[in-house]
Structures are given as structure tokens and as C-alpha cells.
Amino acid sequence: MTDDQTPQGDDQTPQAGQGLIPEAEQLPAYHEEPVARPNSVSEYMKNWWIRVRAGELGSLPILVGLVIIAIIFGSLNDTFFSSRNFTNLLLQMSGWATIAIGVVFVLLIAEIDLSVAYNSAVGAVILTLLLRPGDPGLPWPVALLIALFVTTSVGLIMSLIITKAGVPSFVVTLAFNLGLSGVVLILTTSFSTAGTVLIQDSVIKGLAGNFLTDAWGWILAAAVVGGNVLMQLQKYRSRLASGLPNRPVPIVIAQLVFVAIIVFGGVYVANLDRGVPMVILVLGILLAFWTFIASSTRFGRHVYAVGGNPEAARRAGINVDRVRIAVFMIGGLMAGIGGVILASRLMSVATNTGGGNQLLNVIAAAVIGGTSLFGGSGRVMSALLGAMVIASVENGMGLLGLASGTKFVITGLVLLAAVLVDALSKRGKAAAGVA
């Protein structure tokens, strides 16, 4: 894994297949590859290329993929690069990225959750029904908490079956996927003969329907860029104090400038249309929070340890079952939040909510973003990057007017390519002795 993928505050990393880990409290999150401190940009780039050849691809495949996708669809339809379409892309990916955050945590422990799509739909339907005027007409904060409690409880129940009964997560979550789809159908048809229930609350509708003013968009961009600078500075100082190799200063500056260009450029383009969607602010807060949890807390280190080698983690004193239960609850919680965002964009729920290719999209977002299906490798930011790819592909195919069957085929091929990259990367790292 490349240096820029190393979470803030982690100085060491256990290798999958290690025996006993000395102290559970000091379990690291990622593999640290450096052995020699690069003295120059050229030396750093040489070492980087060696790591790439060894399978430490980092975010390289997804960045290359985004460029290729943009070139293909932009050349076929000029609308793809319009400010209006860019804003639509942000709205389109926000719900998928939110659900994918929970999927990332589940994949990190080498498990799978096939229920997230319909679990998100259950949360959205419950929220919508609780907000119906006078029946019962609950305030939106109360209704939201109840909906999220239900989706989180679904994750808890599944995790207990998986951990206590020893049933594979694939089987359990698949069963819940079928059952929850029935719950959505029953609830929507019980309260609407047409099978569609409109969202009545202005706050929930405004989640995906309101936009930041130009000024607040620039303030948000400045906050993101400033936060990234502070995080990278702290990481640099921490590694320096620990005697670990650091990236050359010109490389650090170049990466900071690159992020700043992307963020400020995105805000500029969005302001040419309606502005930055309010939901992007919500997504940013969620990404920052869960990134901190995964990279800078004991629980996060335990998650990576369980995913890398559950037996070694158990011998180190980690309660593996407790970690699995917590991770599936996180998956249920994020599914509920993502479901609310998706419902807000449509301003309604229906019998087909959670169906179609939603499950494929959210799992693909996590995998395409770089989270390994084999566990122990990945970042929360993977959810955002992967969702950008999926949304771009979906959006581009929509602009071209492709048939639904063709869309499924292309999306499936994109997911297959991501899985192959993951498998080849793991094989390369194993051959190089880094995993």
C-alpha cells in the first residue's frame, strides 16, 4: 500500500498471517512498506514504481478509470461535462456513497452484506410513513431516529446469527435481503394503492433538494482543503518523530495542490449551476467521522486486524465477535442514512425502492474504490471514489440512452474489472512478500 494510503496516526502494520500480536491496543491498521527514507523526488518515484509493480496500486486504478470514463462519455455526449450534469452526478452518487461507507467496514473484516439495499429502503419507508401528516405526523428528528434504529437493529440481528450460530454472512444477508424486500412491498402497498408514498416533510425533501449558496460553497471548499493540509502536516510530523520514512516535501506539496484544485474546481463548476448540494455537506461530515474512526481509534485498528487475520486478532485479546457485531451495526446505520438520502432525491418511496441495481452499485462502489474483498485492506474514502465511478458510468450511459440490459452488462464488467485488479494486486503483494 502506498504511503498516501496510510491512515493518520498509524505507525506500524501487522501482516496478514502473522502469529501472535503483542498488544491489542497497539494493533496497526495497514502494512508499512518503507525501509529506506527517500532523499529525493526521483528516489521516491523509483520506490513508488517498485511498490506498484509489487501490487501496491493504491488509488491509481480508480484515478485512471475516472479519466478514461470522462474521456469516453465526454467525447460521445457534450452534456457530460456541463455544470448541470456535474451537480446531478453529485446528487446521484451521494446516497450510494453513504451506504457504501457501511459496506466498506463489512468488507474490511472479510464479510459481505447483501441486505444493505433493501435495509436502506426499509429505513426510508419507515421514515416516510412516520412523517405522514397527522398519521402519526412525528417530528422529523424523532422519525429519523426511529428509522435508523430499525436499520441498525437489522444489522445487529444479522450479526448475532452470523457470530453466534456460525452461519456464513452471505447466506444470512441474502435471506434478509429477500425478507426486507417483502417488508418494503407490504408497507408501501398498505398505505398507498398506487404503491408510492410521497415524503411530506420539507426538511427531509430539502436534504437532496437544497443547495449551498456560492459563498458557503467556497467556505466548504476552504474547510476541506485546510483540513487536508492540517491532516497531512500532522501525519508528516508523526512519521518524522517515529523515525518512519516520509514522502519528499515536493511530493507532499504536489498532492496538496492536486486536492485543492479538485475541490475548488468542483465548487466552481457546481456554482455555475445550482451550487453545491446540501447533501454533499452531510456526506463530507460522515466521511470525516468514519475515516477518523477507522484510522485513528482502537476500534478501527481492531477492524483491520480482524480482517487481516481473525485468529491472530483473537489470540491478541481482541473480541472478534464483538467487532463483527459492531461492523454490521455500522452497515445497518449507514444503510438507513443512505436510504433517506436516496428517498429525499426522489421525494418519495415506492414498492421498487431498494431494488434494481442499487445493491450492485453500493457494493461495486466499495470494491471499485479499492476495498479488498479479502479483508484487512481499504479506506473509508473508497466509498466516495467508487461511488464517483459508478455514478459517472450510470450517468454517462443515461445520457447516451442505453437500454437497461446494456447498462447492467457494462456495470457488471466494471465491477468484474475491479475484482480482478484486487485479486491481481493481492497476488502481486504475496509474491513480493508484503502481504
Note whether residue 203 is domain-resident.
yes
Report the pLDDT value the prediction gives residue 18, as an integer from 0 to 100: 44
- The pLDDT tens digits of the residues spanning 74-121 come to 999 989 999 999 999 999 999 999 999 999 999 999 999 999 999 999
Across the chain, mean pLDDT equals: 85
At 421, the pLDDT band (50, 70, 90 cuts) reads confident
Q: Which tops the pLDDT comparison, 228 or 50?
A: 228
At 8, the pLDDT band (50, 70, 90 cuts) reads very low
Percent of the chain with pLDDT over 70: 86
Question: What angle (nearest 5°) sits at the alpha carbon of residue 244, between those of residues 433 and 301?
Answer: 70
At 190, the pLDDT band (50, 70, 90 cuts) reads confident
- The pLDDT tens digits of the residues spanning 197-210 come to 888 888 998 888 89
Give this prediction's pTM: 0.84
Cα dist from 369 to 198, 363, 366, whole Å: 33, 10, 5
Note whether residue 41 is domain-resident.
no
Report the pLDDT value the prediction gives residue 13, as an integer from 0 to 100: 41
DSSP 96-135: HHHHHHHHHHHHHTT---TTHHHHHHHHHHHHHHHTSTTT
Would the pLDDT of 32 be above 70? no
Question: Which stretch of 3-7, 110-114, 161-165 has the lowest confidence by average pLDDT?
Answer: 3-7
Report the pLDDT value the prediction gives residue 345, as an integer from 0 to 100: 92
Note whether residue 79 is domain-resident.
yes
Mean pLDDT of 372-396: 87
Long-range pairs for 143-147: beta carbons < 8 A, 24 or more residues apart? 143/201, 144/204, 144/340, 147/123, 147/336, 147/340
Helix 249-272 × helix 214-241 angle, to 10°: 160
Would the pLDDT of 340 be above 70? yes
At 10, the pLDDT band (50, 70, 90 cuts) reads very low
Note whether residue 270 is domain-resident.
no
Note whether residue 412 is domain-resident.
yes
Q: Where residue 192 sits, what CATH number does that domain have?
A: 1.10.3470
Residue range of the domain that includes 394:
23-30+57-210+277-426
Report the pLDDT value the prediction gives residue 11, as an integer from 0 to 100: 44
Q: How far apart are CA 262 and CA 56, in angstroms?
A: 24
Length of the chain (residues):
435
Residue 211 near residue 275, CB atoms below 8 Å: yes
Note whether residue 389 is domain-resident.
yes
Would the pLDDT of 58 be above 70? no
Note whether residue 367 is domain-resident.
yes
Question: What is the total count of domains within the chain?
Answer: 1
Question: Which stretch of 34-43, 240-249, 270-279, 286-295 has the lowest confidence by average pLDDT?
Answer: 34-43
At 37, the pLDDT band (50, 70, 90 cuts) reads low
Note whether residue 261 is domain-resident.
no
